[in-house]
């Protein structure tokens, strides 16, 4: 019986020790609101992307801080702040004073939620998501990498332009934050000289909600709830009164009109082609080069992913042909065989380190995609550098337009060259990553990553080497995963760098340096 007690004592100890080393599994990036490194008082003069002139978006002249109307707003704010529930306090802490980051995170979460490839019907056919019937099945959208890159580009551009306009008026009207007028108000975040009219938080909330509703129509209610929570948190944090918020909403609504207008005519609606168009693209490549890519799934998918994404309107590159690479080595050529032998060797002798790299950068179905991965890096770099919302949005806008342009350029090459995947050219080849439903050359992740890295390297020069090393690792990860040849990855890196340079040049000349 004594033995027995001892053995159960051991068991309890094991239980306690294993229980005590449980790792956190947070649902968002945990950081506190911070003191901005710079307020960018000249930010209202920076070049915008969609808006032609900030002064064309009109907002009312604010009441002065000693007016009775403003004093009434302050009283309302104080009353609300005095009775916050734990949920409201938590919301204030969650949103922080840089809500650009939270809306970006929400966008990534929706990308991961909707990044599901439609399965086959019982009769072996496939039904594609249809924006006219978003409920489906399958639900709209399929947030694959091109879709997600475009979604993030519109989100970030709308946020950036709206914040430039907001900054323009902030420093025109110079109305101080509520807590600077009334020192009985204790703000939830670091005290700041940033003028509070119009509210940058409200501007960001409005544009973000509207872009994401456009991109994820089934999430309208969820987004409305997030928007309300965010707007309320601005008052609860003591940083905005209602008229700040109202003015921010006006700016957001105007910028959204421009974003929606561009999105409706950028060519995305035609990117997913019918089968006859897809077949003619494949045949053109076959006549030109003597090869064509084919889907290898069972049942076979009749059309690859967005064959005409390469024709979607770019942001920073005048024409996609400018960044189209030369042809890959022909299957069967000596150069091809060397490349094929290399990935066969990786597959046969996979090291733990190679496996980790392949999985770390997989960003496959069900994830936030490669563009999402770079948005996570950008977010972390922004917090580390303590950037204000305007400067944060600028980083995201240039990075995400570069990443979408990289996607467009890469997709142009993919369907122009229509190059077969390793599972087609290497008999019996098995991979640890799933092979995607589009041609191999150039590698999407390599192209997205190089473009993202170039832009981040420009904005965060101290970490430039790290960003570029990550892009290289993302590229080679596709070889370990067995879904790309080295030439797909290397040319993809070059293509991504070239595309990224256009965004960097634009950023250098937008007046913010």
> Please, what sign has the CA dihedral across residues 360, 364, 368, 374?
positive
Under rule CB under 8 A, which residues in 369-388 are in contact with another protein? 372-373, 376
Residue 430 binds another protein (CB under 8 A): yes
Backbone angles phi, psi at 249, to 5 degrees: -60, -40
Residue 119 binds another protein (CB under 8 A): yes
Residue 337 binds another protein (CB under 8 A): no
Residue 105 binds another protein (CB under 8 A): yes
Under rule CB under 8 A, which residues in 133-152 are in contact with another protein? 137-138
By the 8 A CB rule, do 368 and 148 touch? yes
Residue of 140, 167, 368, 417 that binds another protein (CB under 8 A): 368
The helix/strand/coil state of 126 is strand
The helix/strand/coil state of 120 is strand
Q: For residues 434 and 417, what is the distance between their CA atoms, to the nearest angstrom?
A: 21
Under rule CB under 8 A, which residues in 476-495 are in contact with another protein? 482
Residue 26 binds another protein (CB under 8 A): yes
Query: What length is written for the chain?
Result: 513
Residue 432 binds another protein (CB under 8 A): yes
CB of 432 to another protein, least distance (A): 5
Beta bridge partners of 126: 120
Phi-psi region of 57 (alpha: psi -120 to 50; beta: other; left: phi over 0): beta
Residue 7 binds another protein (CB under 8 A): yes
CB of 372 to another protein, least distance (A): 8
Q: Which is nearer to another protein, 113 or 262 (CB)?
A: 113
Residue 116 binds another protein (CB under 8 A): yes
Which letter, b or e, does each residue of 23-39 get, where b requires 16 or more Cβ atoms within 10 Å of its Cβ? eeeeeeeeeebbebeeb
Residue 353 binds another protein (CB under 8 A): no
Q: Which stretch binds another protein (CB under 8 A): 49-57, 182-190, 404-412, 423-431?
A: 423-431
By the 8 A CB rule, do 49 and 401 touch? yes
Residue of 166, 272, 431, 442 that binds another protein (CB under 8 A): 431
By the 8 A CB rule, do 389 and 33 touch? no
Kind and range of the H or E run holding 338: helix 334-348
Residue of 131, 290, 366, 511 that binds another protein (CB under 8 A): 366
Residue 284 binds another protein (CB under 8 A): no
CA within 13 Å, CB half, 260: 14
Residue of 185, 385, 423, 464 that binds another protein (CB under 8 A): 423
Q: For residues 411 and 364, what is the distance between their CA atoms, to the nearest angstrom?
A: 17
By the 8 A CB rule, do 404 and 148 touch? no
By the 8 A CB rule, do 475 and 449 touch? yes
Q: Which stretch binds another protein (CB under 8 A): 5-13, 33-41, 93-101, 388-396?
A: 5-13
Residue of 78, 93, 113, 270 that binds another protein (CB under 8 A): 113
Evaluate the omega torsion of the peptide bond into residue 59 and state whether it is cis, within 30 degrees of 0.
Answer: no
Give the contact letters, 233-272, x = binds to another protein (CB under 8 A), - = no: ----------------------------------------
What is the gyration radius of the CA atoms in the chain, in angstroms?
A: 25
CB of 146 to another protein, least distance (A): 19
Q: Is 135 exposed, middle or buried (0-12, 13-18, 19+ CB in 10 A)?
A: exposed
Give the contact letters, 292-311, x = binds to another protein (CB under 8 A), - = no: ----xxxx------------
Please report, as ranges, the residues that interact with another protein according to CB under 8 A. Answer: 3-4, 7-8, 11, 14-15, 18, 22-29, 105, 108-109, 112-113, 116-120, 137-138, 296-299, 347, 352, 355-356, 359-360, 362, 365-368, 372-373, 376, 423, 429-432, 434-435, 482
């Amino acid at each position: 019986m004594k033995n027995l007690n001892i053995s159960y004592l051991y068991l309890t100890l094991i239980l306690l020790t294993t229980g005590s080393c449980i790792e956190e599994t947070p649902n968002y990036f945990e950081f506190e609101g911070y003191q901005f490194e710079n307020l960018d008082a000249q930010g209202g003069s920076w070049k915008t992307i969609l808006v032609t002139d900030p002064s064309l978006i009109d907002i009312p002249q604010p009441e002065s801080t000693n007016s009775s109307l403003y004093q009434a707003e302050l009283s309302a704010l104080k009353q609300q702040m005095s009775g916050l529930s734990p949920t409201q306090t938590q919301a204030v802490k969650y949103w922080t004073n840089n809500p650009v980051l939270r809306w970006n995170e929400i966008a990534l979460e929706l990308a991961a939620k909707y990044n599901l490839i439609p399965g086959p019907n019982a009769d072996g056919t496939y039904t594609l998501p249809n924006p006219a019937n978003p409920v489906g099945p399958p639900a709209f959208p399929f947030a694959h990498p091109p879709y997600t890159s475009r979604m993030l580009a519109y989100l970030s551009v709308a946020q950036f332009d709206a914040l430039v306009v907001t900054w323009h008026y902030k420093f025109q009207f110079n109305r101080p934050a509520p807590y600077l007028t009334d020192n009985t108000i204790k703000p939830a975040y670091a005290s700041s000289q940033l003028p509070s009219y119009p509210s940058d938080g409200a501007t960001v909330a409005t544009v973000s909600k509207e872009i994401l509703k456009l991109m994820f129509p089934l999430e309208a209610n969820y987004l409305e709830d997030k928007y309300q929570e965010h707007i309320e948190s601005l008052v609860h944090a003591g940083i905005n009164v209602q008229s700040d918020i109202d003015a921010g909403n006006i700016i957001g609504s105007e910028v959204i009109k421009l974003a929606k207008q561009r999105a409706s005519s950028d060519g995305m609606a035609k990117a997913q082609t019918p089968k006859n168009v897809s077949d003619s693209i494949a045949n053109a490549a076959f006549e030109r080069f003597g090869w064509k890519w084919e889907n290898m799934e069972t049942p076979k998918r009749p059309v690859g992913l967005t064959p005409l994404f390469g024709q979607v309107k770019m942001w920073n590159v005048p024409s996609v042909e400018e960044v189209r690479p030369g042809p890959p080595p022909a299957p069967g050529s000596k150069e091809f065989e060397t490349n094929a032998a290399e990935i066969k060797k990786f597959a046969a002798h996979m090291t733990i380190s190679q496996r980790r790299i392949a999985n770390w950068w997989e960003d496959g179905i069900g994830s936030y995609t490669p563009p999402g991965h770079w948005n996570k890096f950008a977010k972390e770099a922004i917090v580390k550098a303590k950037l204000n919302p305007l400067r944060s949005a600028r980083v995201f806008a240039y990075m995400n337009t570069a990443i979408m342009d990289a996607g467009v350029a890469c997709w142009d090459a993919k369907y122009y060259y229509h190059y077969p995947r390793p599972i087609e050219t290497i008999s019996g080849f098995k991979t640890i990553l799933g092979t995607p439903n589009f041609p191999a050359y150039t590698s999407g992740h390599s192209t997205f990553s190089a473009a993202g890295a170039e832009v981040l390297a420009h904005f965060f020069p101290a970490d430039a080497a790290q960003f570029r090393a990550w892009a290289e690792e993302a590229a080679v990860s596709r070889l370990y995963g067995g879904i790309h040849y080295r030439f797909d990855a290397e040319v993809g890196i070059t293509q991504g760098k070239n595309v990224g340079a256009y965004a960097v040049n634009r950023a250098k000349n937008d007046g913010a340096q």
